[in-house]
């Protein structure tokens, strides 16, 4: 399922500055209820996410648009239909982004007449989605998509759990109005999104290696993106689509990676990895410090245009490692295997595919899935991505970009029909302020920068020789680089 064609679509240059506003609505017992709005000026001392308790208290929560994830509903996509389906799925994301922005642009009118939220935003969005989903159904030969209720979107409060998700804060909008912990900034961040890591009980335990375990490691030194390679693309989910992610990514490894990179482009690309046999693509959403001015993308796609504002932080450390299986040997990954871990839309989708892990140096036996950590003095924030380590033995990708790989169970064993491959583990460290609301990960606008949406992406472009070396080191219990 490799991609060899290269789209002629061009990228636009990045402008420089922007300020934004966000609308606050909540779900009351009978529908939408307007509450206070807070326009967040994004420069210096003029306020912004987490700027002060007074600002955060002015708005209890930010409502967001909750739409079914059509990509997760796809079972198969014929190869010939893949470009069209990718384009339509990207259109769906853009439609949600535009609808979310329309709330901000019309906040005063909606505050006066909450029924306008449906007529101005939700109903037009449903019409757009109905057309796009119909085209996807035709292209994939899955007419049942039209009957799955995927077109209609709803509004939900920023601290309400996703449908079917029993975790999180109040599920009832009226109760949420009275929740004192729900004080939020215009970005959607709330005080409850942050927790002192010292208050978290140890919760990270790995399976003990069995007698046949593969206990070695292979480390690839690819830097920490000191050269600032970033873009808001996602070549796995939205190939050929500029700004397909609607948030900015950090890249290490392959320097040719953008929305338009084919497998051939990646094979020829330069790499930031010390071992030139590793031309793999490793990328993740950037982390920003808020309320200290904005980066140069404040008026650009993926940046301010998509509600991602603040100073992008370069990691102080980024470690990329392949590890083995606690129950047996591993086999080589296929070249151009694509893996996504975590869910960029977990705030609205729920936790089924969420795999965020936040912690602090010195406290990494305490991992957070849906909270940002506040680290004590001398400790730094850590993001850890543990990728799926089981492969179906046939495909380098799948219709929903998930079902060709799987996680091992608690004992470390792969599901039936899957084989163990080296597990990619990424550990990314940041020096960030230990203050609630002071930093956030980039996200799709409607995901409100929630920590649960953190995710990592990987395309294997190891040479066959280097992958063979890595597998041998892992299976023989050695540590190699």
Does 14 fall in a domain? Answer: no
Mean pLDDT of the chain: 84
**Dist CA 252 CA 427 (whole Å):** 13
pLDDT for the residue 114: 78
**Dist CA 214 CA 201 (whole Å):** 29
Instruction: Answer whether residue 91 shows pLDDT above 60.
Output: yes
Domain boundary among 130, 159, 191: 191
pLDDT for the residue 163: 58
**Dist CA 236 CA 232 (whole Å):** 12
Domain boundary among 191, 225, 247: 191
Q: What is the DSSP letter of 34?
A: E
Which residue in the block uniquely carries the two structure tokens 């040719």?
A: 256
Instruction: Answer whether residue 54 shows pLDDT above 90.
Output: no
Does 356 fall in a domain? Answer: yes
- Do 264 and 402 lie in one domain? The reply is yes
More confident residue, 171 or 213: 213
How confident is residue 206, by pLDDT bands cut at 50, 70 and 90? confident
For residues 343-364, give the mean pLDDT: 96
- Do 113 and 145 lie in one domain? The reply is yes
Instruction: Answer whether residue 443 shows pLDDT above 80.
Output: yes
More confident residue, 170 or 260: 260
Among 289, 286, 276, 310, residue whose Cα is nearest residue 228: 286
The neighbour count for residue 109, using CB atoms within 10 Å, is 12
More confident residue, 345 or 52: 345
Structural domain boundaries enclosing 110: 25-191
**Dist CA 347 CA 234 (whole Å):** 19
The neighbour count for residue 314, using CB atoms within 10 Å, is 16
Q: Which residues of 5-41 are buried (b: 16+ CB within 10 A; e: fewer)?
A: eebeeeeeebeeebbbbbbbbbbbeeebbbbebbebe
**Dist CA 222 CA 283 (whole Å):** 11
Domain boundary among 169, 191, 213: 191
Using a pLDDT cut of 70, give the percent of the chain over it: 81
**Dist CA 481 CA 469 (whole Å):** 9
- Do 94 and 232 lie in one domain? The reply is no
For residues 243-258, give the mean pLDDT: 98
Listed range (47-51, 142-146, 285-289, 372-376) with the worst mean pLDDT: 47-51
- Do 186 and 198 lie in one domain? The reply is no
Among 167, 176, 148, 151, residue whose Cα is nearest residue 62: 176
Give me the phi and psi of 475, to 5 degrees please. -70, -20
Indicate yes or no: pTM above 0.95: no
CA distances from 250 to 13, 230, 262, 389, 406 (A): 18, 5, 19, 23, 25
Does 471 fall in a domain? Answer: yes
Q: Listing from the earlier edge strand, what are the strands of the sheet with 455-459?
A: 230-231, 249-253, 281-285, 455-459, 338-342
Q: Listing from the earlier edge strand, what are the strands of the sheet with 419-420?
A: 405-406, 390-391, 419-420
Does 158 fall in a domain? Answer: yes
Residue pair 232/206 in contact (Cβ under 8 Å)? The answer is no
- Do 237 and 146 lie in one domain? The reply is no
- Do 317 and 437 lie in one domain? The reply is yes
Among 25, 98, 66, residue whose Cα is nearest residue 349: 66
Does 461 fall in a domain? Answer: yes
Does 7 fall in a domain? Answer: no
Instruction: Answer whether residue 213 shows pLDDT above 70.
Output: yes
**Dist CA 83 CA 296 (whole Å):** 31
- Do 354 and 420 lie in one domain? The reply is yes
Listed range (36-40, 133-137, 452-456) with the worst mean pLDDT: 36-40
Among 420, 372, 367, residue whose Cα is nearest residue 392: 420
- Do 130 and 64 lie in one domain? The reply is yes
Residue pair 260/3 in contact (Cβ under 8 Å)? The answer is no
**What tens digit of pLDDT does each residue of 7-18 get?**
444 444 443 333
**Dist CA 467 CA 165 (whole Å):** 39
Listed range (29-43, 200-214, 252-266) with the worst mean pLDDT: 29-43
User: Beta strand 217-220 with 479-480: parallel, antiparallel or unpaired?
Assistant: parallel
- Give Cβ neighbours of residue 284 (< 8 Å, ≥ 6 apart): 249, 250, 383, 385, 426, 428, 454, 455, 456, 457
pLDDT for the residue 115: 85
- Do 139 and 277 lie in one domain? The reply is no
Does 8 fall in a domain? Answer: no
pLDDT for the residue 161: 65
The neighbour count for residue 272, using CB atoms within 10 Å, is 20
- Do 352 and 382 lie in one domain? The reply is yes
Provide the number of structural domains found in the chain: 2
CA distances from 54 to 7, 11, 36, 40, 111 (A): 49, 40, 13, 13, 21
Does 366 fall in a domain? Answer: yes
- Do 296 and 163 lie in one domain? The reply is no
- Do 365 and 476 lie in one domain? The reply is yes
Using a pLDDT cut of 90, give the percent of the chain over it: 71
pLDDT for the residue 162: 65
**Dist CA 33 CA 31 (whole Å):** 6
pLDDT for the residue 37: 28
Decide: residue 113, CB within 10 A, 0-12 exposed, 13-18 middle, 19+ buried.
exposed
**Dist CA 195 CA 202 (whole Å):** 14
For residues 345-374, give the mean pLDDT: 97
């Amino acid at each position: 399922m490799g991609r060899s064609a290269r789209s002629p679509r061009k990228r636009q240059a990045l402008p420089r500055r922007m300020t934004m506003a966000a609308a606050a609505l909540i779900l009351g017992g009978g529908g939408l209820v307007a509450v206070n709005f807070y326009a967040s000026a994004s420069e210096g001392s003029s306020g912004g996410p987490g700027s002060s308790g007074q600002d955060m208290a002015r708005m209890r929560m930010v409502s967001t648009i909750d739409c079914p994830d059509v990509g997760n509903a796809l079972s198969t996509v014929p190869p010939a239909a893949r470009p069209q389906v990718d384009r339509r799925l990207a259109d769906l994301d853009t439609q949600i982004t535009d609808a979310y922005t329309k709330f901000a642009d019309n906040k005063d009118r909606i505050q006066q007449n909450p029924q306008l939220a449906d007529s101005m935003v939700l109903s037009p969005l449903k019409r757009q989605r109905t057309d796009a989903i119909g085209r996807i159904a035709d292209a994939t030969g899955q007419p049942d998509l039209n009957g799955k209720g995927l077109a209609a979107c709803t509004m939900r409060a920023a601290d309400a759990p996703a449908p079917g998700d029993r975790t999180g804060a109040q599920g009832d909008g009226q109760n949420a109005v009275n929740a004192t912990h729900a004080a939020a900034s215009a970005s959607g961040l709330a005080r409850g999104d942050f927790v002192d890591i010292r208050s978290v009980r140890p919760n990270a335990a790995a399976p003990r290696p069995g007698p046949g375990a593969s206990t070695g490691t292979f480390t690839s030194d690819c830097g920490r993106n000191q050269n600032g390679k970033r873009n808001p693309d996602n070549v796995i989910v939205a190939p050929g689509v500029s700004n397909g992610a609607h948030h900015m990514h950090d890249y290490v490894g392959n320097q040719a990676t953008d929305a338009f990179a084919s497998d051939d482009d990646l094979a020829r690309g330069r790499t930031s990895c010390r071992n030139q046999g590793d031309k793999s693509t490793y990328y993740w959403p950037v982390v920003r410090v808020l309320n200290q001015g904005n980066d140069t993308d404040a008026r650009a796609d993926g940046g301010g245009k998509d509600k991602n504002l603040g100073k992008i932080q370069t990691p102080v450390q980024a470690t990329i490692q392949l590890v083995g299986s606690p129950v047996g040997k591993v086999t080589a990954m296929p070249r151009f295997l694509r893996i996504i871990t975590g869910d960029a839309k977990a705030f609205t989708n729920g936790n089924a595919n969420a795999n965020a892990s936040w912690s602090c140096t010195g406290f990494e036996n305490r991992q957070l899935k849906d909270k940002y950590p506040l680290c004590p003095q001398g400790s730094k924030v850590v993001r850890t991505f543990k990728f799926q380590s089981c492969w179906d033995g046939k495909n380098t990708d799948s219709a929903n970009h998930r079902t060709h790989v799987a996680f091992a169970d608690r004992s470390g064993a792969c599901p039936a029909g899957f084989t163990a491959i080296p597990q990619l583990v990424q550990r990314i460290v940041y020096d960030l302020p230990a203050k609630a609301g002071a930093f956030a990960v980039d996200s799709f606008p409607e995901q409100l920068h929630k920590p649960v949406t953190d995710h990592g992406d990987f395309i294997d472009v190891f040479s066959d020789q280097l992958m063979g070396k890595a597998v041998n080191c892992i299976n023989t219990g050695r540590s190699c680089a």
